């Protein structure tokens, strides 16, 4: 296998837990998703280092800009060149 670039997440899945906390999941929802009885929410970010994007807007202050950051690790050939391409839906 040659995955090329990978999106690293925290080994303990804390990144995902923090993401769910930031979305406002309650205790019942958290237990259902992460299958744990105990967890810790600290920073409450709403970004997850994953190859998708989601923005939550409260219906105020439009238009609004949102920056997304992703970190990838090259596990392929060290001389590889990768280029990001953005595809914007037309509708």
82 alpha-carbon distance from chain centroid: 20
Q: Which pLDDT band holds residue 44 (cuts at 50, 70, 90)? A: low
Domain holding 55, by residue range, is 1-91
Query: Which residue is associated with the tokens 């303990």?
Result: 12
Give percent above pLDDT 70 in the chain.
Answer: 86
Task: Please give the pLDDT value at position 21.
Answer: 87
Number of domains in the chain: 1
Tokens, residue 3: 């995955």
d(CA 67, CA 77): 29
What is the 3-class SS of the chain, one letter each residue?
Answer: CCCCEEECCCCCCHHHHHHHHHCCCCHHHHHHHHCCCCCCCCCCCCCCCCCCCCCCCCCCCCCCCCCCCCCEEECCCCCCCCCCCCCCCCC
pLDDT band at 12 (very low <50, low <70, confident <90, very high): low
């Amino acid at each position: 296998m040659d995955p090329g670039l990978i999106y690293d997440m925290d080994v303990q899945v804390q990144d995902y837990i923090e993401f769910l906390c930031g979305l406002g999941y309650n205790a019942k929802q958290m237990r259902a998703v992460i299958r744990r009885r105990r967890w810790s929410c600290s920073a409450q970010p709403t970004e997850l280092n994953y190859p998708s994007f989601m923005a939550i807007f409260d219906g105020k202050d439009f238009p609004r800009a949102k920056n997304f950051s992703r970190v990838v690790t090259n596990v392929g050939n060290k001389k590889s060149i990768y280029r990001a391409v953005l595809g914007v839906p037309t509708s």
